[in-house]
Copies of this chain bind each other. A is one copy, B any other.
């Protein structure tokens, strides 16, 4: 059996599957977990790859660490989405963190992850609170401030479509403390149908944040293997020498558990190929 995800006409990914471990139509989406032949267990939502046990380190390290190290002292962190638990696990590696709220709309994602991706999450960590709510409404209403917000949603179809909207980033800015920083996943630059959503998201970041940049990561099971992410802050530049010093020290301490991220990657990931620049300019 093969799992297929097409991203460019009839071009896409094909993965050898041994067994379907989980399959549920929830009120929001279709959540599935497959046992694959070489990637460990693989979670998909609406037939799109979310993560496999073997490659999830790239996405989670790259969504979380550039932002977490850029902040001088991140104590309170909000994760929108991220129900598989991988982003929270990376956030919780930072010793300054006191409290993490993870707002996941779909409890089935967490349930499937706990059962079939047990190495991905750190759900027993007492610093982590999981709330089953709509993240978009949550940032509209939340009163407390966060130092870092991580937006770990799915593709701009279905429940995640408003994670690419102007009002969502306005609310995120309001929910961030003075030095606040956010990161978000922003799709593959090779999927032309998402370009309008990507463009809209970066326009929103420009409106509501002093600093905003796209950066990239190599994710083998995502469309075309190229994934874009967003960094936005109320003032901290990700290439500030103080930030780079924190990255250098922090990655040394965290080294045995990092398989992708390092200081060179922190600097180099913000380099964008010409055709990618053109998407957001």
Check if A253 is an interface residue, CB within 8 A of chain B.
Answer: no
Check if A270 is an interface residue, CB within 8 A of chain B.
Answer: yes
A15 to B169 alpha-carbon distance, docked (Å): 37
Main secondary structure of the interface of A (DSSP, over half): mixed
A14 to B272 alpha-carbon distance, docked (Å): 26
A58 to B38 alpha-carbon distance, docked (Å): 28
Write the nearest CB–CB distance from A265 to chain B, whole angstroms: 5
Chain A residues within 8 Å of chain B by Cβ, number: 43
Residue of B nearest to A15 (CB): B11
**Residues 241-281 of A at the B interface (beta carbon under 8 Å):** 258-262, 264-265, 267-275, 277
Check if A130 is an interface residue, CB within 8 A of chain B.
Answer: no
Write the nearest CB–CB distance from A214 to chain B, whole angstroms: 11
A157 to B81 alpha-carbon distance, docked (Å): 44
A190 to B218 alpha-carbon distance, docked (Å): 10
Q: Which residues of B contact A220 (CB under 8 A)?
A: 8, 190, 224-226
Residue in contact with A268 in the complex, picked from B262, B270, B274, CB distance below 8 Å: B270
What are 7 A-B contacts defined by CB distance under 8 Å? A9-B37, A9-B39, A10-B37, A11-B15, A11-B37, A219-B225, A225-B225
